[in-house]
Amino acid sequence: MLIAAVLLAIGAVLVVGGAELLTLGGSFYYFAAGLPCVMSSGLLARGNRWGLLVYAAMLAFTVLWSFWEVGAQFWQLLPRLAGPTVIGLLLALPQIRRRLTPATDAGTRWGLGSVVCLAALVLLGTFLTVPVFDVSSDRTMALSAPSPAGAEWTDYGANVFGTRHSPAVQITPANAAKLEQAWSVDCH
């Protein structure tokens, strides 16, 4: 019941926030992920094993969406996949799964477990490719050298580390007071 309550809360936030984001022209993901969370919560609260499969489908969708949005970059995948994967892992625990599925229901057991393993392997696999762990001198030099243009965003989030800060040097403390607002967006 506790996991069902947590899923309901997460799903409600995703549905409401995702609906508002859609009205502003934003990503459909949050609304689309919130609905199965709410649905899974209701099914789990009733003791229905389909709640596990609905959550597994949402987690699989999240893995695909995450790759579509940021590619195979660990630091960008981590906030998208870690939370849903941990909840999936909790749902796949034998103590929880046994209450919902008969021993003969291998489909539910393997369905959720497979998706949780896939998400965990994606995180582990991309973690092992983080450039910080490549200590070869060529790769280290390439990461530490500034780009020739000075302000190139080579990866999602600015660089392979996802720092989201511009390396541009045109704005300095000496000229910051001279900046003017060029445009704004009213979100209300």
**In this structure, is residue 36 part of a structural domain?**
yes
Mean pLDDT of 183-187: 79
> Is residue 58 pLDDT above 50, yes or no?
yes
> Is residue 35 pLDDT above 90, yes or no?
yes
**In this structure, is residue 20 part of a structural domain?**
yes
**In this structure, is residue 66 part of a structural domain?**
yes
For 85-90, which contacts have Cβ atoms below 8 Å and span 24 or more sequence positions?
A: 85/59, 85/116, 85/119, 85/120, 85/123, 87/3, 87/6, 87/7, 87/10, 87/55, 88/55, 88/56, 88/59, 88/112, 88/115, 88/116, 88/119, 89/116, 89/120, 90/3
Helix (H, G, I), strand (E, B) or coil at 174: coil
> Is residue 145 pLDDT above 50, yes or no?
no
How many separate domains does the chain show? 1
Taking CA 127 as the corner, what is the angle to CA 126 and CA 128, rounded to the nearest 5 degrees?
90
User: What is the chain's mean pLDDT, rounded?
Assistant: 78
Mean pLDDT of 143-158: 59
**In this structure, is residue 126 part of a structural domain?**
yes
Mean pLDDT of 60-77: 84
**In this structure, is residue 149 part of a structural domain?**
no
Please state the pTM of the whole predicted model. Answer: 0.64
Residue 140 confidence (pLDDT):
46
Residue 74 confidence (pLDDT):
81
Query: Which domain covers residue 94, as residue numbers?
Result: 2-131
Query: Shortest CA distance to 57 belongs to which of 124, 3, 118, 141?
Result: 118
Angstrom distances, CA of residue 103 to CA of 97, 98, 106: 10, 7, 7
Backbone angles phi, psi at 155, to 5 degrees: -140, 170
**In this structure, is residue 27 part of a structural domain?**
yes
pLDDT-derived band at 12, boundaries 50, 70, 90: very high
**In this structure, is residue 168 part of a structural domain?**
no
**In this structure, is residue 103 part of a structural domain?**
yes
Mean pLDDT of 64-86: 84
% of the chain residues with pLDDT over 70:
72
**CA pair distance 55, 91, nearest whole angstrom:** 9
pLDDT digits (tens, 9 = 90+) for 84-104: 888 888 888 777 766 666 555
% of the chain residues with pLDDT over 90:
11
